[in-house]
Structure 1
């Protein structure tokens, strides 16, 4: 294992120096607004996600190949509605241009969201260490848009990248979660890839162009309209989630 890791690190450094390869990381992404409630597992949305990065340009994506609106019901008459489409959810980070471009959905409508690159203020925890996938990792904590995130990064892979919008540490982020446990990114594998293998490491397309503030406010308004509509039906009682399952819960 030690020889393998040393070889991987040397290979990564050499190909990065010539700009001929990138790293691909697989994550199990879990989003569950009722993670601490009895029977809350029903509300979990689990996806296998992929991050590709050369340290300067990164793209994180999941949910490709979706089929639209999906309605699920459990034995307690709880209902879960999810939306997806063929292009999925994409988060593209360009350090050079200082821009972040995302593809997200509000119900079944796709949006392309452009914003300035956020500077996350991390606090590295000297006593927080663990091993993930054979890599020695250290913990760092940051607060971002309503959530406190704990991330585990490794300086053995000195890439400024991580899942979703989490980045800005002196090493690749292999795992992360918010302190409530609603959002989790669990390491599932890593490999080196050539740039030709990941031609999707570029800004997303296929959606209505919008800024982050407008997107956030539009989503809040659409959620409220939906709850009011359902609550108006005779004999229907609706209990919205106490905690939202979105990555960002403030702006």
Structure 2
């Protein structure tokens, strides 16, 4: 029995060393829905396959690249969904050495480059465990930027990062879901890579430089201006989503 335990420990330690010395690329199915559990809610859902590349020091999460600008979708009952993306997409680069995150995000069709300190996320680690993609994962819960998240992390992959800006756990986050149903990051695959060979694993450019606070306030203001402008048209009724379609609803 001791030999078996030692063998298992050695295998786990070996796997952890491999991941720490090289790097990983994780694929997530990112699902967003500002109107979950509402009539016609599925129409407003948007799915992307997103990638995270990390070597423990530098990490980049991206989605929506290769887009075609503004896309308008029309559904039942005069429902309209508008998606903005471009060739570079949405990018979130984390550097552990200088403790910063540089993001490329968009307000309508205008890209912004936002630099901020890595957020200090306070996690409550639970006893619940489950297997995801062959990895034993443990549950952790946090409130981050206005939403409560349940995240599942794998200690055998010693990277303290995850999808989007989530991180700070003693293992890679393989799954995370907001309890309000707006955002889900679902594990879809993992492979070893050399992050140095990934051309997009770097701080994004090509956008207007702005602070996180400035970006947050600008987005709220633009949202309100858009609703007011559309509502001014005769016969048009705007019903804003009860849950904002952007990830951060609090600073």
Task: Please report the TM-score for the alignment, with normalisation by the length of structure 2.
Answer: 0.93
Give yes or no for the alignment of 1:209 onto 2:209. Answer: yes
Within-5 A mapping of 1:148-159 = 148-159=148-159
Q: Which residue of 2 aligns with 1:135?
A: 135
* Residues 68-105 of structure 1 deviation map (CA, whole Å, 9 limit, x = unaligned): 00111112211011100000000011111011100000
The aligned counterpart of 1:165 is: 165
Q: Which moved more, 1:8-17 or 1:132-141?
A: 8-17
Q: What displacement does 1:16 show? A: 3.1
The offset of 1:38, in angstroms, is 2.2
Shift of 1:177: 0.6
Per-residue deviation, 1:14? 3.5
Q: Structure 2 matches for 1:29-178, cutoff 5 A?
A: 29-126=30-127, 128-178=128-178
- Gaps (5+ residues) in structure 1? none
1:26 has 2:38 as partner: no
Summarize the Cα distance change of 1:32–1:9 in structure 2 as closer, same or farther, 3 Å threshold: farther
Q: Cα distance, 1:197 vs. partner?
A: 3.0
2:230 counterpart SS class: helix
> For the residues of structure 2 that align with 1:8 and 1:65, how far apart are their CA atoms?
38
Q: How far apart are the structure 2 equivalents of 1:245 and 1:138?
A: 28
Supply the distance in 1 between the matched residues of 2:99 and 2:65 (Cα, whole angstroms): 26
CA–CA distance in structure 2, aligned partners of residues 98 and 80 of structure 1: 36
Q: Structure 1 pair 15/237, CA: closer, same or farther in 2 (3 Å)?
A: closer
Residue 55 of structure 1: how far off its partner (Å): 1.5
What SS does the aligned partner of 1:210 have?
Answer: strand
C-alpha contact (below 8 Å) 1:9/1:157 kept by paired residues: no
What SS class does the counterpart of residue 23 from structure 2 fall into?
A: strand
Alignment deviations for residues 43-83 of structure 1 (CA, whole Å, 9 cap, x no partner): 00100000001112110000110000011111221101110
Alignment partner of 2:20 out of 16, 41, 60: 16
Which residue number corresponds to residue 3 of structure 2? none
Q: Do 2:133 and 2:187's aligned partners in 1 also have CA atoms closer than 8 Å?
A: yes
Structure 2: gaps (5+ residues) = 1-6
Runs of 4 or more, structure 1, over 2 Å off, are 6-12, 14-17
Query: How big is each residue's C-alpha offset from its partner over 1:137-163, in whole Å with a ceiling of 9 and x where there is no partner?
Result: 100001111001110001111111100
- Mapped to 2, the partners of 1:91 and 1:187 lie a distance apart of 18
Report what 2:199 is aligned to. 199
Alignment coverage as a number of residue pairs? 243
- TM superposition shift of 1:12: 5.4
How does the TM-score come out when normalised to structure 1?
A: 0.93
Whole-angstrom CA distance in 1 between matches of 2:83 and 2:122: 32
Matched residue SS, 1:140: strand
Tell me the C-alpha RMSD between the 2 structures: 1.6
**Do the aligned partners of 2:19 and 2:192 also contact (CA within 8 Å) in 1?**
no
Question: Aligned pair in 2 of structure 1 residues 165, 113: CA closer, same or farther (>3 Å)?
Answer: same
